[in-house]
Amino acid sequence: MELETRQIQFGTKGRTDIIDITDMVESEIRQSGFTEGQVTLFAVGSTTGLSTIEYEPGLVHTDIAKMFDKLAPYGAHYAHHGTWGDDNGASHVRSTLMGSSLVVPFVNGKLTLGTWQQIIFVDFDTRPRSRKVVVQLWGKKRE
């Protein structure tokens, strides 16, 4: 059994920007030579989210954002704004609810996702950011 800690980096636009990171994760599995095991993804930062979705424009650009707007609208007042003079209380609340950690098994070097299921990183922050996701792989490697 082996263990390897890698990371991926990319830019985001913020405001519930939903990014398909499936290819990046599969590329890390391929490069590392793991065949069976798990990948643990951890999004660094307290205005981020990780989950899975059917990555199509309707959900990605409209439906998920609308659901979060009901729960924690960007325009509202948050006590968080008083602490630092920030404007991203909604981003933090959304992140804590969605969660920033995800574990996905793989077999024969392939993630066990459904046909219409992709891994997404969500940037809830109110501005473009450069983001980092820890990609920890472990399991069996090619002989």
Residues that bind its own copies (CB under 8 A): 1-3, 5, 36-38, 40, 42, 44-46, 51-54, 56-59, 61-64, 67, 70-72, 78-84, 89, 92-93, 95-105, 107, 112-114, 116-118, 120, 134, 136, 138-140
Which of 2/23 has CB closer to its own copies? 2
Which of 13/116 has CB closer to its own copies? 116
Which of 31/136 has CB closer to its own copies? 136
Which of 27/51 has CB closer to its own copies? 51
Instruction: State in angstroms the smallest separation of the CB of 28 from its own copies.
Output: 13
- Written as six digits, the tokens of 101 are 């950690």
- Centre a 10 Å sphere on the Cβ of residue 109 and count the other Cβ atoms it contains: 15
Handedness of CA 51, 57, 59, 62 (dihedral sign): positive
Instruction: State in angstroms the smallest separation of the CB of 11 from its own copies.
Output: 17
Sheet with 17-20, edge to edge strand ranges: 17-20, 118-123, 48-53
How far is it, in rounded angstroms, from Cα 2 to Cα 75?
A: 47
43-71 residues labelled b (16+ CB within 10 A) or e (exposed): bebebbbbebbebeeeebeeebbeebeee
CA 99 centroid distance within chain: 9
Instruction: State in angstroms the smallest separation of the CB of 49 from its own copies.
Output: 9
How far is it, in rounded angstroms, from Cα 90 to Cα 73?
A: 6
Instruction: State in angstroms the smallest separation of the CB of 32 from its own copies.
Output: 14
Instruction: State in angstroms the smallest separation of the CB of 47 from its own copies.
Output: 8
Which of 31/44 has CB closer to its own copies? 44
